[in-house]
Amino acid sequence: MLKLEHIEKSFGEKRVLSDVSLWVPDGTAASLSGMSGSGKTTLLRIAAGLARPDAGSVRADGRTAVVFAEPRLFDGVSVLENVTCVMSGTKKENEKRAEALLDALELAGTARLRPRELSTGMAARVSLARALAYEADLYLLDEPFKSLDETLKRRVMAYLSSCFQGKTVLFITHEASEQAFLSARRFHLSDGVLSELS
């Protein structure tokens, strides 16, 4: 479960979030849309515990995985190790599972590559694979499909739908078509004020 209550956040004089309350019950998904600079990423960072609100409370149950807007992979290690680095099993088990995740996200054959050898879309999917490998209870995704073409996006969304069964998910998107992903409740941020779309 993710529960944000009466969140306030300002950067200097600029108020970014104003009395924002958002509740995503266990096993459900919510999408968050809004113009650039409307405070979506700030809200996601607050939910992830990476930024402190000026006021209000955050409750996030269980393990949280975050997919950032940029892939944020470790350059010095292979794609495979970028996925296994968040896992806690034995090396062999982790590698097997990581390879399965990479295959499912259509990244077969990239395990031994370095992140710098990947395209933007591939790196974004490795970041998704890393989040899935963490086996979290709550997933916070910042525009996870933005660098994927339509066909690939649909296939990845279909795969993620099966992975996110029973998980709590909050994702940021600009695309109306993506808002229907996971039959999510839709929220919109405008001038720091959150509203639910029907």
Partner 1 sequence: MRSMGNKLPARILRGILCLAFWIFVWQLLALAVRRALVLPTPLAVAKTLLALLGEGEFYLVCLWSLGRIFAGLLIGLLAGVLLAACCAASRLADALVSPVISVIKATPIASVIILMLYVIGKSAVPMVATLLMVIPIVFMNVRRGIGAVPESMREVAAVYGFGRGRRMRYLILPSVLPYFAAACRSALGLAWKAGIAAEVICTPALSIGNALHDAKIYLESEALYAWTIVVVLLSVLIEKGVVLLLSHLSEKGGVSVAEA
Judged by the rule CB under 8 A, the positions of this chain that interact with partner 1 are: 48-50, 63-66, 68, 70, 72, 74-78, 85-86, 114, 130, 134
Closest CA to 77 of 116, 45, 41: 116
CB nearer to partner 1: pick between 4 and 179: 4
R_g of the chain, CA atoms, integer Å = 17
Q: Residue 150: CA atoms inside 13 Å, Cβ hemisphere, count?
A: 2
Q: Tell me the closest approach of the beta carbon of residue 118 to partner 1, in angstroms.
A: 15
**d(C-alpha 32, C-alpha 82), whole Å:** 27
- Residue 149's Cβ-count burial label (10 Å; 0-12, 13-18, 19+) is exposed
Q: Tell me the closest approach of the beta carbon of residue 176 to partner 1, in angstroms.
A: 28
Q: Tell me the closest approach of the beta carbon of residue 117 to partner 1, in angstroms.
A: 12
Q: Tell me the closest approach of the beta carbon of residue 190 to partner 1, in angstroms.
A: 26
Closest CA to 51 of 82, 1, 17, 26: 17
CB nearer to partner 1: pick between 32 and 133: 133
CB nearer to partner 1: pick between 153 and 167: 167
Q: Tell me the closest approach of the beta carbon of residue 127 to partner 1, in angstroms.
A: 9
**d(C-alpha 81, C-alpha 114), whole Å:** 10
CB nearer to partner 1: pick between 113 and 152: 113
CB nearer to partner 1: pick between 67 and 153: 67
Q: Residue 49: CA atoms inside 13 Å, Cβ hemisphere, count?
A: 10
Tokens of 123: 């790196």
